[in-house]
A and B are shown apart, each in its own frame.
Chain A
Amino acid sequence: MSGGIYALISVGLALIFGVVGLVNFAHGEFLMLAMYIAYWIYNKGGLDPYQSLPVNLIVMAVIGFLIFKLIMERVLDSDHSIQMLLTLALSMVLQNVALILWKADYRSIRIPMTNSSTNMGFLTLNTPRLLAFVIAIGASVLLYLYLQKTFTGAAMRAISQNGKAAQLMGINIKKTYMLAFVIGTVLVGLAGLLLSPIYPAFPLVGANFSTLAFIVVVLGGLSSVPGAIIGGLVIGVIESFAGYFAGAAYQQAAYFLLFILVLVFKPNGLFGKKA
């Protein structure tokens, strides 16, 4: 079930990497921000995360836009190592700002749905997890269709394949970068929002998920969006199977092992292009 969320977080990361060429180490912190936004809207305004969805996503889009305009745009032409150090620094700044603003407390959203289950014949599933799964997969698939069917989507894919050629073909590269970055931020925001009824928000929450997202993205083939969707699901399934049959202590060991195996035998990931 968690696979859907992992997929959604990773799709944003893969998109930003594929199109903009940025390895965004602050991705987990965007997740944290979205969880806090959902929490504060719930806490102050009484709206549950599903009701506050539009507001949350708009705020995330604005955050994504501002961060791109103020920070990322300046390093687009810089060396990759500089870009990475910048996103790493951004992640630390965001973590510590959150720590100053909201302290280290765990902030959970408790709606009646939190502990409710949906009975589906032979299966009983926790409702927020089920919802998260369905919405996450839906959003990921929508993104995939967007990339395949629309002109802007095609432009993004073109840039991802060959940035220079795409620019020569008349694609506004900066604008497309910005759009990809904002979409990536909104998607991780959606993931944070879906996660908020299940998992508490705290300043370092991003770290628990961003390591996972990086594994998923590498597993799926770095810049591949369908790869990230499948990768997320695979990790979710492996985590559950390992937890059930080998014990919870082996959950993480299991997917790290898979990660190593993929790197050894299929270094370009499941859906990666040959280098």
Chain B
Amino acid sequence: MKKMKKILVLLLAFILTISVFAGCGAKSTPAAGSSSAPAASGGSGEPADTPAEPANTDPLKVGAIFPLSGGNALLGSQCLAGIQIAVDFVNEAGGVQGRQIALTEADAPDPTAATTEASRLIDQQGVEIIFGSLASGNALAIAGVTEKSGITLVEAGGIANELTNSGFQHAFRIIDSGGLRGGKGVEYVGDVLAPMLGIPVNELKVAIIHEESSYGTGVADGAEAQAKAMGMQVVLRESYNTSITDMSAMVLNLKKEKPDVLFTANYVNDAILLVDTLRQYDAMPKVMMGCGAGTTSTEFASTIGPDSDGIFCTDMPTNLPITAFDSDPELKATVQAFRDRMLAEFPDLSTVPVAAEAAFAGAYTFLHNVLPNAKTLDSAGIREAAIATDVPLTALGFGWDVDETGQNQSARANINQWQDGAVQTVYPEALKTADVINVPLPIAAK
């Protein structure tokens, strides 16, 4: 028995070691100058100030790191398809400064794999730019590697605050940060929903529950700061690990405090478990405001069913009506072509997932709008161009205006609400697709 135990310990240690390297196996595909896609009307991408040196016609190597295996594999592969389409569109229009773009993909189901894969793409494949990465944890892991090698990271998924407040020089984020997004949700509750509930803002009791990675924590920090700034009473803040199997204890604590509003940041599985547990203990607050990832996913609403009607989720602008791009006909045609091709590639989808649309928008804006302005296609030249370039409208419905930290200052979040199993935008007014319903929630605690 003793020997057995020794072996067991050794084996457990071995598994831990393996898990560190797990997910390294990624395949690399040469860029596809692909298929039957409708030709992007997306511009000719004329090189700006033509570099003086003799024209370099080698392909420009870029990488894309997404979870292509594991729990987020589906969304990850949709994001990758978004990047591939952006690359194809730009290649079909002549490439960047006369160079075709060669895309290499890598699979990173977790931050450890993201680190390994980023190193591999840079050291072995020689990529100059990396697009990523769906999850905040992965984004930070990749940024740690790209920064050391002076490689550019264009992030369109991770919203962790640390990506743009840690002094990274070569990480650029097209979407908003978690802090901004958490704050937006609170602001909306204070300005719009508190009067609807008939509760003065300074008497509004707020609970914050979030998953404990940098994504959830970033959102919660933003929400808590904004709630305190607006004078709300934060009565509970709890975090949990996404592998949690039983939320009873946390929900009982929440029930004790009787909050009016719940701010929450989760992934899908835990978001469903949270709502279920709140229902089981009859502890649902009057308003539930989720943020990105979990509460925005279609699985969330399809699993919970009609009870999801009225639950809010802040997220980047999603499924904008195509008329939102009227001011830029060229972009409008590109977005339409992108959506058509996504739906053709994923026949199960009725609309393009936000994450994939963001991945496309990030890559397309960067390749089509930013890089042509770069005097040199090295990290210094790219950084200069990223900050100097100002785009009034991107495929996400807002502009590109990156500051010194790498954060796009034009990025904004929408307030969405589940209505009849579909996400409707209720704020800002200009993008509104439906009026607010179910305040307070019909499933709120009696």
Q: Which residues on A are within 8 Å of B, measured CB to CB?
A: 1-2, 21, 23, 25, 80-81, 84-85, 88, 96, 99, 103-106, 108, 110, 114-115, 117, 124, 126, 198-200, 202-204, 207-209, 212, 222, 239-244, 247-249, 251-252, 267, 273, 275
Is A114 a contact partner of B276 (Cβ separation < 8 A)? Answer: yes
In the bound complex, CA of A186 to CA of B272 (Å): 28
Which 4 interchain pairs have the tightest Cβ spacing? Answer: A243-B249, A248-B240, A244-B249, A248-B250
Q: Which of B65-73, B188-196, B222-230, B357-365 contacts A (4 or more CB under 8 A)?
A: B65-73
Alpha-carbon gap, A108 to B273, bound state (A): 10
B interface, size bucket: 35 or more
In contact, B74 and A105 (Cβ under 8 angstroms):
yes
Encode B279-311 as 1/0 by CB contact (under 8 A) with A: 111100000000000000001000101000000
User: Which residues of A lie under 8 Å from residue B69 when comparing CB positions?
Assistant: 96, 99
Interface of B is mostly: helix
The CA of A137 and the CA of B407, in the complex, are separated in Å by 54
- Measured CB to CB, the closest approach of chain B to A82, in angstroms, equals 10
* Stretch from B1-9, B329-337, B395-403 that touches the partner: B1-9
Q: Could you tell me if A248 and B249 are in contact, using CB atoms closer than 8 angstroms? A: yes
Shortest Cβ distance from B443 into A: residue = A115
Contact residues in A for B5 (Cβ distance below 8 Å): 222, 267, 275
A81 touches B7 (CB 8 A): yes
Asked if A110 and B7 sit within 8 Å, CB to CB, the answer is: no
Say yes or no: is B166 at the interface (Cβ < 8 Å to chain A). no
A4 to chain B, nearest CB (A): 11
Chain B, range 193-218, C-beta contacts under 8 Å to A: 212
Please indicate the chain A residues that have their CB under 8 angstroms from the CB of B320 in the complex.
none
Question: Are B249 and A240 within 8 A (Cβ)?
Answer: yes
CB pair B11 A84 closer than 8 Å: yes
Q: Are B247 and A115 in contact (CB under 8 A)?
A: no
Beta-carbon contact of A208 and B243 below 8 Å = yes
What are 29 contact pairs spanning A and B, CB under 8 A? A2-B245, A2-B246, A81-B7, A84-B7, A84-B8, A99-B70, A104-B71, A104-B72, A104-B74, A105-B74, A106-B272, A108-B303, A110-B305, A115-B276, A117-B280, A117-B282, A126-B280, A198-B276, A200-B272, A204-B71, A208-B245, A239-B246, A240-B249, A241-B249, A243-B246, A243-B248, A249-B239, A249-B240, A267-B5
Given the complex, which residues of B lie within 8 Å of A239, measured CB to CB? 246, 249
In the bound complex, what is the Cα–Cα distance between A256 and B18 (angstroms)?
21
Which residues of A sit under 8 angstroms from B276, Cβ to Cβ?
114-115, 198
Tell me if B269 is interfacial: C-beta within 8 Å of chain A: yes
Name the distance in Å between B240's Cβ and chain A's nearest Cβ: 4
Residue contact B272 to A108, C-beta cutoff 8 Å: yes
Q: B250 — which chain A residues lie within 8 A by C-beta?
A: 243, 247-248
Besides the known contacts A240-B246, A252-B244, 6 further A-B residue pairs in the complex with CB atoms under 8 A apart: A117-B280, A202-B71, A202-B269, A207-B243, A208-B245, A248-B238
Cβ B273 vs Cβ A199 within 8 A: yes
- A106, A108, A124, most chain B CB atoms within 10 A: A106
Smallest beta-carbon distance A185→chain B, Å: 21
